[in-house]
Amino acid sequence: MKATTQPPLLSAVLSLAATSFAFCTETPEAKPFGKTKDGAPVEVFTLVNKQGVKLRAMTYGATVLSLETPDRNGKSADIVLGYKTLGQYEKSSPYFGAIVGRYGNRIAGGKFTLQGKEYKLAENNGAPGLKSSLHGGLRGFDKVVWKAEPLAQDGAQGVRFSYLSKDGEEGYPGNLEVKVTYWLNDQNEWRVDYEMASDKATPVNLTQHSYFNLKGEGRGDILGHELTVPAAKFTPVNAAMIPTGELRSVAGTPLDFNQPKAIGARIQADDEQLRLGGGYDHNFVLKRPLFSGLSGRGTFPAATVHEPETGRVLTILTSEPGIQFYSGNFLDGTLTGKAGARYPKRSGFCLETQHYPDSPNQPSFPSTILKPGKVLKSTTVFQFGVK
């Protein structure tokens, strides 16, 4: 006679096994990563997945320290630039791997007016007469120690970083509560979820400032990487690297990446915008519905990068209306990376999902003003593949 029902003990064991299988992803552990010069302890979290991808992130700046992904032969390399020690990050970092904010990219003249009041920010970028506030000011979100909570769900490990930016910090209005969660899942996706709320109206524009080299950090320049950006327009800049307000067509310019093009193919072209940026350092207007206000959660393709030697492919999706493509023009060989190699000019690129630079002074751009009582959510996904 065939058993039609399982004995109660066996079915209990099976259901327990199913439950623990569903939740078998372990919560990442916190490990010490030294102390800041002010004595604050910094921790590092290591997220791993079943396909051999490994992401390490620390509480200083919510910074991604390393990101190992396989190439087309299954060989792993660390594909982001960075340092070995906390002290190096504190001393001088061009925002390697960090979350930048409260306002990523530039605000013209280091000032903006909101609800009739002028706010003054640090002018930490640009030559005299061409000054702006860059990446949140003198001590932006990349230079503070965040709180962290390790997370796990079925098939994904995570860490949630949180930071309270006090009213008046770096000149910005309102106590701003920020949560940035990194998830690494078994589908080789690194997902960045942003959540922000403030008790006063304030501009906000956070981004992830990782420098990628899909050959592996320290392995030469990124000029052979092939980039695709589905954007019909970009925001041209003036001599201060501030958008003029125009949304200009990329057609017929070296900024047209609608079809895959090597980053280096046209970087030396005789083009006013490339001269002003010292290469690519421009915001692209993503082909997607423009939001009149702050963005929602659905993500859209923003960029794809293919590295022909290793076969690595990075695909970026975002809910943001723009993406800054920066070709590492300010790297100059003076910084030494974590494995001991120097980082010459254009040895890494950044693709920073964002609202457009200088939006607080540009009424025609999608608004970056977060009002009290609202929760702003934004998501960017980095997918790692090979071809």
State yes or no: residue 94 binds ligand GLA (CB under 6 A).
Answer: yes
Q: Give me the long-range contacts of 289-294 (CB less than 8 A, separation at least 24).
A: 290/321, 290/366, 291/321, 291/366, 292/366, 292/367, 293/366, 293/367, 294/366, 294/367, 294/368, 294/370, 294/374, 294/376, 294/378
Residue 310 and residue 334 in contact, taking contact as beta carbons nearer than 8 Å: no
The strand pairing partners of 366, in sequence order, are none
Residue 10 and residue 1 in contact, taking contact as beta carbons nearer than 8 Å: no
Is the link from the previous residue into 102 a cis peptide, with omega within 30 of 0? Answer: yes
Give me the least distance between CB of 328 and ligand GLA, in Å please. 8
Give me the least distance between CB of 210 and ligand GLA, in Å please. 11
Of 324, 315, 321, give the one whose Cα is nearest residue 382. Answer: 315
Give me the least distance between CB of 281 and ligand GLA, in Å please. 5
Binding to ligand GLA (CB under 6 A) within 277-316 occurs at 281
The count of residues interacting with ligand GLA (CB under 6 A) is 10
Of 30, 27, 17, 70, give the one whose Cα is nearest residue 183. Answer: 27
Of 264, 231, 263, give the one whose Cα is nearest residue 248. Answer: 231
Of 277, 313, 321, give the one whose Cα is nearest residue 295. Answer: 321
Q: Which of 199, 332 has the CB closer to ligand GLA?
A: 332
State yes or no: residue 332 binds ligand GLA (CB under 6 A).
Answer: no
The one-letter amino acid at 258: N
State yes or no: residue 105 binds ligand GLA (CB under 6 A).
Answer: yes
Spatial neighbors of 27 by CB under 8 A, at least 6 apart, are 150, 151, 152, 157
Q: Is the dihedral of CA 209, 212, 216, 220 positive or negative?
A: negative
Task: Please count the residues of the chain.
Answer: 387
Q: Which of 26, 332 has the CB closer to ligand GLA?
A: 332
Order of strands across the sheet that contains 300-306: 147-153, 156-165, 176-185, 189-198, 376-386, 312-318, 300-306, 226-228, 261-262
DSSP state at residue 198: E
Among 60, 83, 89, 95, binds ligand GLA (CB under 6 A): 95
Q: Which of 183, 325 has the CB closer to ligand GLA?
A: 325
Q: Which of 133, 379 has the CB closer to ligand GLA?
A: 133
Binding segment for ligand GLA among 146-154, 244-252, 288-296, 323-331 (CB under 6 A)?
323-331
Q: How many CA atoms lie within 13 A of 278 on its CB side?
A: 11
Q: Which residues are catalytic?
A: 209, 352
Give me the least distance between CB of 145 and ligand GLA, in Å please. 21
Give me the least distance between CB of 284 and ligand GLA, in Å please. 12
Give me the least distance between CB of 289 and ligand GLA, in Å please. 25
Binding segment for ligand GLA among 16-24, 37-45, 285-293, 324-332 (CB under 6 A)?
324-332
State yes or no: residue 324 binds ligand GLA (CB under 6 A).
Answer: yes
Q: Which of 45, 211 has the CB closer to ligand GLA?
A: 211
The residue with its CB nearest to ligand GLA is: 326
Q: Which of 196, 331 has the CB closer to ligand GLA?
A: 331
State yes or no: residue 229 binds ligand GLA (CB under 6 A).
Answer: no
Looking at the chain, the number of H-run helices and the number of E-run strands are 3, 27
State yes or no: residue 188 binds ligand GLA (CB under 6 A).
Answer: no
State yes or no: residue 326 binds ligand GLA (CB under 6 A).
Answer: yes
Among 47, 65, 79, 134, binds ligand GLA (CB under 6 A): 134
Q: Which of 45, 382 has the CB closer to ligand GLA?
A: 382
Among 180, 294, 350, 369, binds ligand GLA (CB under 6 A): 350
Q: Where on the chain is the footprint of ligand GLA (CB under 6 A)?
A: 94-95, 105, 134, 281, 324, 326, 330, 350, 352
